[in-house]
Each structure stands twice: as structure tokens, then as C-alpha cells.
Structure 1
Amino acid sequence: MNLARAVALIAVIGVLTGCGPQPSADPTQAGIPEEILEQACTDAVSGIVDAVAELAAGYEPDAAGEPPTTPDDGGPEAEDEDPLTAAVTDARRARDRLNCDREAFAAELADGLGAIAPSTPVAEAVWRRASASILGTVEQEAGERALTPTDDLRDALARSAEGTTIVLPPGTIDLDSTLVLLTAVTLRGSDLDATVLRTRATDAAVIVATGGLVRLENLTLELVGDDPASGLVAGPSASVALSNVRIAGARADEGGAGGAGVYMSAQGDEGSGRGTTLEVTDSVFARNGWAGVAVAGGHRVSIEGSTFADNGEVGLLFLDEAGGSVGSSSFRDNRVGLAATGSADPSWADNAISGGDVGVQVDADAAPAIDGLRVSGTSSAAVIFGGSSGGFLGDATCAASPYGIVISDAAAPTLGANECQLARGGS
């Protein structure tokens, strides 16, 4: 089962606990020994627990250690592939028919669900959310919920209604595994320097696994683990907004895994047609092993007033058909400041780049519109148009760089008035 369908299923499975009136005994059960009826009630609970465990197990590695494959989200799956729905329905009927003791039924169900032990962050998030839904602890209305330093953030996420704002306390919150967001929530700290999510997670510190809008505000996401990992990873259907956020320390390995502060993941034109899918204001992306931000597929960004510093390969990278706008932002000491490849067509206005090897690198068929660019102190070139790239460059200044604007033989950008030396040739 794909994750989107699992989350939708969890939302409608229904609550099996509560303080409603005890139903009258079913006369058809008269004469059946009490121990048999009790066992039937226990079996009903076990059916739910087994179904939740099976649902979570779909997001565990297989016996060979390979992660589970996830079907495309293009269509619904057959109802008979939803054992959890059937188990909940059967258990509700059995509880009422057998006149099971409500309190004992709820306690046994809570114990059984609590004993499930998923081994991956996604499986754990699915288990937590399904358990909260069945036990009736999911909030019914969105609101603002303030966490104390002793509260469990994952438990708060599992119980939150769509649109909830979780207010994190000042200080450092240590996380040892990936935080998986299955619903549209806001995580809000006190300030970028005051609230720190410090994580040793592998692969990703935060995974956005919902099509609803996820917001992070006034906090730092600091990766401190030794294994390759990116900061925030979101798929083709995701939408993310970052305001006054710092993401730093993402680690890459030699094979190219990990290392992005933010990675909006997709292929081709996946993610297109939805307007802006990544909105960033007044944020910082620093010391990430690969990229401060990488945007792929058809994702569209709006980035304003942000800083990209000391990222290993590139400050901000557009891939595939990604686009959007980047304005009034600074890029400092990244190997490449701004880059676009594939057929990306972003608009970059009034940005400043200093240090590193190359200020702007455009390759393949990318065609960015660049206006008001300021580049200084790069060790190789201010701007390079490679491949068969195009686009526009105007009102650019290039200072203290060996080369200004370098255009390959096959590239054909349109140049406005620029204060940069021009060089042609090469590929």
C-alpha cells in the first residue's frame, strides 16, 4: 500500500474506544460460557493489533534488507487490500454483539497496539497515527498546541489534527531518528537561535509525507550524525513553507547520498501545476555537504531574503523542470552559488554571490532569467552557461573573478547590459 493511501485509510478507520453506554447483551449469546465470550473479545482486539502491525510492516525493509517499494499514487487500491478497515469493522461488531466490557476492551487494545515495535521511522509514524486514531486520541480540531520540554514530539504529531500548530519550547530537542510528517502541521519555535531540533537521523532528518502544507518557523534544524543524511526531504505532492529557519550540517557520502539542507524530490514534471511548492523567507542554509537547497521535478519555489553559505557543492540547485523565483538572497563560499540544469527555468533577481569557485552555473537546456546579479571573489568564473543552455542575463556585475561570463559554443543566452568580461568557447 502506498503511503498516501495508508494515511487516508487511517483518517477514516474510526474510533474503537470511548465512554459510550454499554450495549445490551445479545440474546443469541445466552448460555455461552463466559470464558469463551472473553476469548472472542480478545480475538477481536488481536485482529486490530495484527492489522495495524501489518500496515506498519509495509514500510519495513524486507528479509533481504531492501526498503519496501511504494506503488504510484495514481489510483486507489482494491478494498480487499485494507485488512485494517475490515478488522476495525469486525471488532466493533463483535464488541457490541458479545457485550464485551468496554474498559477492558479499550485497555487490552491499548496494550496490544503499544507492544508493536516498528523498526523504521515511516513505519513508526504510521503505527503511531493508526493507534491514535483507533484509540480516539487524535484531536478533532486544529489549533495551537504548546509542547513542554518533556513532551514527545512524535506523539504530538500523531495526535494532531490537520492544520495544527505545534509550538516548540526554547532550548535543544534531541532526535535520534527521522521525524515523519503524515499530516499538514506547523512546527513553530521561539526563534532561529532559541529553538534547535538537533538530530542524528540517517537518510533524512525530516520527511514530509503529506500533500498538505507543512510549515517550519523560527527554529534551527541541526544535523550532527555521522551517517549521510539530508535535512528536510519532500516528495512530488508535498508543499513546504520555511520562515526564519536554519538548516545546517547535512552530510553527504562519496556515493552521492544525502547532503541537502532541503531536497524537494520529483522527476520530470512531477509536482508541477500546483503553484509554489516551496516558500522560503529569511532563512539560512549552511554547511550542508551537497546543496543548501535542491529542487527537482516540476516543483516551484519562492525564496526571498535568505542566505546560503559554506555548502559543499552548491548553494541552490534547480533540476529537471523546476522553476520559481529567488530574490534578494546571498550566497557565500559555496563551491557554486546558484545552478540550474535539465530544462529548469527559474527567475533570479537581485542576488549577491561571493567566494567559492563559480557564482552561477547553467547547464543542459536550462534557461533561467537572471537580473541584478552581483558576483565577487570567485576563484574560477562569475557566470558559466554550458551545454545548450539559454535564458537571460542582465544588470550583472562581476568583480575579482578570473573570468566574468563564460558561454559555451552551444549555449545561447540573451545578454543585457552587464559589467562583466565575456568569454566564449568550449562545451
Structure 2
Amino acid sequence: MSTAHTFDTDTETPVAVLGAGPVGLAATAHLHARGLPVVLLEAGDRVATAVREWAHVRLFSPWAMLVDPAARELLAPTGWREPDPEGLPTGGEWVTEYLQPLAETPAIAHALRLSTRVVAVSRERADRLADTDRDRRPFVLHLRGPGGERRLRARAVIDATGTWFSPNPLGADGLPALGEEAEGDRIPSGMPDVLGADRTAHAGRRTAIVGSGHSAQQVIGDLARLVDEEPGTEVVWVTRGDGPAFGGGSADQLPARAAVGETAQAAVDRPGIDLVTRFPTDAVTRDEQGVVLHAGDRSIGPLDVVVRATGFRPELRLLAELRLDLHPSVESTRALAPLIDPNVHSCGTVPPHGAAELAHPDEPDLYVVGMKSYGRAPTFLARTGYEQVRSVAAALAGDAESAQRIDLELPETGVCGAPTPTAELATIGTGCCET
């Protein structure tokens, strides 16, 4: 293993990794192993900001799929004890037992810049329109942090910022429903801790969950317990289509993922939980009794809380001055889209892919990895992101043979049929939960 360069922004042009989540940390570990100077930029004041927001959720990928090989090499000399490969951690355990210790290794800590937001990325003295010497110009990153605003030059950019902070709206047409933004305090996104920190917001009240994937199903499973424990608790599960796909059951190679669907399926057959299908929300209003969802002449409500579990989309504004080669609907790279498009694939399997499929031909050395690399497509797992960044690091180091040699085998979902628009957070895919 080679030794990483000492990073000095005044004398070297590093590889800039955006986002210190699971995949960004892994990317930094692989770049370190390749001896490449690297800086890891994180907008939050701690690593794994998104994972910490769903710390209560138990992942359905085991530890064996959640530890990156290059990260393991960094952790080994520190006395770190690897968890049971078959164990299923919560998001919080993933942070405390792996991600935070990884961030504290000398190699990662040296590269890490917390509370540093990347506002925009471009080519040095060349906007999106400029052609002259474009591929020979370094990238320039506009940063905002404790010291104010500054610019950073980078020889390459790996965007691992994920999608957690850009959720899809309630509106079935991809736009916020009328009134949705005004009622934002009643419409949280993601996976609330309804049995813990967020219990009082749901106990004895009426909650609607909008969405059909694994994230929605996990919340429904928790709310079913709350219905039993707290009198007066009511739940409405709202889907845009014919209904949720409950998974592959015993055919799913991740038993914990299958269990999520089985629990949710059992929940809809019990008192206190109503399933409303084919309800494409187009407006949200509020009356004296609560929030009301509307779809044409149909309505649901009044409701105390509406949980938006409708999936996520990539935030691309920070890359607006770069020439991205994106598929028009999926919003992944054009080369990757045919492998992951949910309008085509329904079995949950993704062929091996790496730097070649993630490249943007007009912007050499720019890569979007992790959940964000999938654009609006679902079923992303941490293992996919780890293999992506291994390949990208090899490509940036000039090791074309290693970059092209992709070793990725993902567990079958056991579901084939009509495509279902669900997206896994875990690992994020986090290996935990699909939305």
C-alpha cells in the first residue's frame, strides 16, 4: 500500500471529495491507498450527517456489506474491532461503530474539512460555455465555511453528497402539491422515529404516510405498534399507484428486507390503519382540525401529520457550471441509466459498473458516486457505492486495468414484474431502507 501525500492546498491540487457520508469516507480511503492527495469536504459539523437523521432505523444489509475494504485497512491499526459480519446495525450503530471511528483515523482526519459547504463547482476561469483548454483546467470549488467564502482548486471532483436532503415532493407530477410548501411544518420527510423521539407527534393522533417503498413500509410497521400501544392513534397509508410492493418474501436474499414488507403487509389488515391507493396528491389545505390532502375531487383528512416518504432526487445545482452527461429522465449518467432505470428493471439487480459508466465525457475527472449517482432510480446499496469509488480511485491513479475490473455481486430482491418506483436509502441504500 502506498502512502498518501501530505495535503497542502497552497502547493498541491488535490482530489476533492464532496460529502463525508459512507461513500465519501470510502472514496477518501481508496484515494489515500492510491497515494493521491485528497480533501474531504462536509457541510455538516460531523460526518454521516444524513445517517444520523435516521439513527433509529435498523439496516437490512448486514455488516459484511457495510464495511469498505480500504476503510478496513485504515481502521485495523487503530485497534478497531469489526462487528459481527452477519449483524444488522441501526443507522446510529453504523455511525458509532464504523463511520465515526473511520473519520478519526489519521488519514481521514487529515483530509476532512467539516462545516464546509460546497456552493458550486466549475472549471478554473471557464464557465459552462467555454471550450478553450477546458479539459486541462483544474476544477474550482466555491466553498462557504467558518472562515467565510473561498475557492479551492482540485484536479478531480468526486461528488458523494447523496440525496437525503432533496426529497421528492408529495405532488405526483414531480412538483410540490399546491399548498405543500406552506404546510411544511406538518409534512416532515424521511423516516420519523415514531416509537422514540417523535412519538408525541403521532401518539393518539392521525398520521398519513405518503409513499410505497421500503422507507414508507418501515414507518408503517412502527406505526402499527404505536396503534397498539397508544389509544386513539390512527394511520392512513397513501400511495399514488395501485399499492405498495411488499417484496420477494423468502426469495429475497436479504431476509431483513423481506421482513420489512411482510410486517407492512400484515399492518394493513388490522384496525387503525387504512390503505388508500391511486391517490395522486395535487393540493394540501389546512382547516381548524388539521391538514387535508386532495387529489381531484377526493380528499383525505383532517390529519395531524403527513409523512412524505416519496423518495429522493439528486441536487444538481452545485454542478450547474459543468457539462454533465445525464440521462433525461433518470438523471444518472447516460451510460449508467440503462442498467438501473426502474421503468425497465424490476428485479433489483444492477450489473457491475464503475468509473467508465460514471464518467462525464465532456468533464474528465468528474464523478458522481453513491446514491446520487443513481439519479432518481432506486435500490441503491452501500456495497455498490464502495465498488464505485474503488474503481474511480483506480482510474484517477492511472490504473486502467483495476478501474475496469469490477467485482460486484448484489443480493437478489426476489421481485420481478411491474417496475416499482422505490429507492433504498441504505447506504444510504444504506443497506437499510428503501423509499
Q: Shorter-chain TM-score category? A: under 0.3
Higher fraction of strand: 1
Higher fraction of helix: 2
Q: TM-score, normalised by structure 2?
A: 0.23
Q: TM-score, normalised by structure 1?
A: 0.23
